[in-house]
Structure 1
């Protein structure tokens, strides 16, 4: 395993983590809904839901096709750079926005999110090339941890800017951070392999391969059941992340710098939760850990309906953060235990596809409910609890190989 390749690969995780931390989860999401659109009647929620749904729909639909083109036509690094550049340029253009420029802001936000999410398709595809199978979990974990550090660094840079109302400088700081710390990855990762297929043939093979992969997944009952449950509860997780900051400002009156402190605390507890639940995942099995965290998230989502103070919402955020790290790690572990041997790479690709495609539904549901009820975000939050509850019920139908082995042993 080449340590240089692992280091520069992880640096991209450090670089790109500033985007969700500052743009989709906290500052820009609130700026878009409140300042650009206006959110007194839920119209901002509606438009933000559309931003997320449209961008994730495009990425989910195009990923299998573009991934096959990148791998088989020798374009992976170039596609990674292209999608990253799209995101960075669009974030820089946020400086042109003024209140009321809804369509221009909508277009930029959709393209920025496509750039960010699309780049991840090619970034993740490097993992099998830079680490052997038995070390991929470790390397993935390194990237995960470095990503949390990147989020924290980006938030700390944004806090003094946001507190002074310097939003244009905030967007530029995100773009510069992303661009600067991406460079080691672009310069240090292995060059693209020579393409083995023309682009049109690679695209055709990608479509056929994805169709066959769907058939393979459908043919494994336990895997099918798990991915359906995962599709639902991870949609709840993503929707919570996308709208928590908006809810905190619009309904609870948080100041924008307070949102950054809140998200920073949540990130810390998410990282702590992923470590704290790592051993229980090995001892109890990932299904039990997922069940516990989904019970926690369902309860929290329902309880938020009754929250009226910032202090209580901070506490809720801490609890949710602890569950966030645990459910992500346990879900990956359960997925790994259900995959037939020799199909790890393609099945984890489908796992990522489920996570991205699920994000189309939750944001639309939240936005539509908020708008239909004249901006009542509390009821919209209850819709998120439904995703957790359905996922919790469906995960009970999945057999955990870890639990079955423990029961079979004397």
Structure 2
């Protein structure tokens, strides 16, 4: 394909997995909260819906954060990375299909948690594959391309899903709930199709060696202690992870709660879904541009720009988001910075860690990212439930973004490294 002519086969197949899994990410942040609200609306008020949705996100994030360091360390041994990737991908895929079953709101939420754990865990091993499929010089570009093509590619099944949801009842005579349930089947098939190429071509280049499985398990727990010590003594890596812990909280919380928040404000579901579809189209060129701007101005500089932007986005959501028009504005703003900050955080981290222990380090990267998500969604849920105000819940995460920004400014540089490199 000419679009990928400057990419190797492994780079292209790695990017394609983002096209596959992003379809479920998009569905989970748009249709799924609305579907859950419809299932639970008769027994729960708007504040309760936001609180329950935030708690489900919190539980899923907590599970992933607890699992990934140990499993990530095991995955660093030769041949293990792809095995763990397949295991969690398959778990997420089965749960994705199971969300199509006609069940109660509570059961659906439990299945959603399993699907989210499978998806996000597979993405941890996927992130660690980055060090195997490309080199440091191309890492910003490839990581950004993954997010960019994921955004635009995910719109294909998503458009099919919303066409079915909105057109199915009138054109096909199908129940609207059934149409929504079928969207999980469409999304699961898409995810599977774009995962197969990576499964065929991926080869683990960087790995730890061991003589037997027992030695791997024993070394895993010794290695975790060693890695924690190494991270703590590497000041640049440690401060970056702390900064990441705070600023990615704002990013993940906005992504996870946007549709639920908009729905609770009474914004029509059609506007919510179409506005977030626009986010995907805006995010495509923005993520590509971020990769190129990082080459010119430095990866850290562009991350700082995105953190400042997200502070503005959170303030806008808390103080001005009331109508569908304002939600469209929010969707565009998120699209401008979402992919860039995620892609450059991933690639920057990939550059500064030992390549043969990538999964182990990305396991800790996931801890910082997932516990930030735990804190953010939990904070929104608690503040919203305590005050009865979803607006105050959203505003409560702004301080975390500010702390992350300050920590990035304080991050020590290597000798001779320019600011913002």
TM-score bin, normalised by smaller chain: 0.7 to 0.9
Q: For residues 208-287 of structure 1, what are the structure 2 equivalents within 5 Å?
A: 208-255=222-269, 257-287=270-300
Inter-partner Cα distance in structure 2 for 1:304 and 1:194? 46
Contact 2:48–2:385 at 8 Å: present in 1 too? Answer: yes
Evaluate the alpha carbon distance shift between residue 42 and residue 34 of structure 1 in structure 2; reply closer, same or farther with a 3 A threshold. Answer: farther
Contact 1:57–1:360 at 8 Å: present in 2 too? Answer: yes
Give the corresponding residue for 1:181.
Answer: 194
Contact 1:273–1:325 at 8 Å: present in 2 too? Answer: yes
Of 28, 38, 52 in structure 2, the residue corresponding to residue 47 of structure 1 is 52
Contact 1:22–1:154 at 8 Å: present in 2 too? Answer: no
Residue correspondences, number: 401
Alignment pair present for 1:26 and 2:39: no
Inter-partner Cα distance in structure 2 for 1:341 and 1:182? 26
Alignment pair present for 1:85 and 2:90: yes
Deviations 1:283-327 (A, max 9, x none): 444444333332222122122223222112211221222122332
Instruction: Provide the alpha-carbon RMSD of the alignment.
Output: 3.2
Inter-partner Cα distance in structure 2 for 1:136 and 1:295? 24
Gaps of 5+ in 1: none
Per the TM alignment, residue 209 of structure 1 is displaced from its structure 2 partner at its CA by: 1.4
Of 145, 154, 158 in structure 2, the residue corresponding to residue 155 of structure 1 is 158
Per the TM alignment, residue 167 of structure 1 is displaced from its structure 2 partner at its CA by: 0.8
Contact 2:72–2:363 at 8 Å: present in 1 too? Answer: no
Contact 1:91–1:175 at 8 Å: present in 2 too? Answer: yes
Contact 2:23–2:158 at 8 Å: present in 1 too? Answer: yes
Q: For residues 392-403 of structure 1, what are the structure 2 equivalents within 5 Å?
A: 392-399=405-412
Evaluate the alpha carbon distance shift between residue 4 and residue 45 of structure 1 in structure 2; reply closer, same or farther with a 3 A threshold. Answer: same
Inter-partner Cα distance in structure 1 for 2:15 and 2:299? 25
Contact 1:286–1:400 at 8 Å: present in 2 too? Answer: no
For the residue of structure 2 that corresponds to 1:125, the secondary structure is: helix
Inter-partner Cα distance in structure 2 for 1:189 and 1:8? 8
Contact 1:273–1:321 at 8 Å: present in 2 too? Answer: yes
Of 114, 118, 124 in structure 2, the residue corresponding to residue 115 of structure 1 is 118
TM-score, with structure 1 as normaliser: 0.86
Gaps of 5+ in 2: 1-5, 168-175
Per the TM alignment, residue 399 of structure 1 is displaced from its structure 2 partner at its CA by: 4.2
Evaluate the alpha carbon distance shift between residue 182 and residue 330 of structure 1 in structure 2; reply closer, same or farther with a 3 A threshold. Answer: closer
Per the TM alignment, residue 281 of structure 1 is displaced from its structure 2 partner at its CA by: 3.5
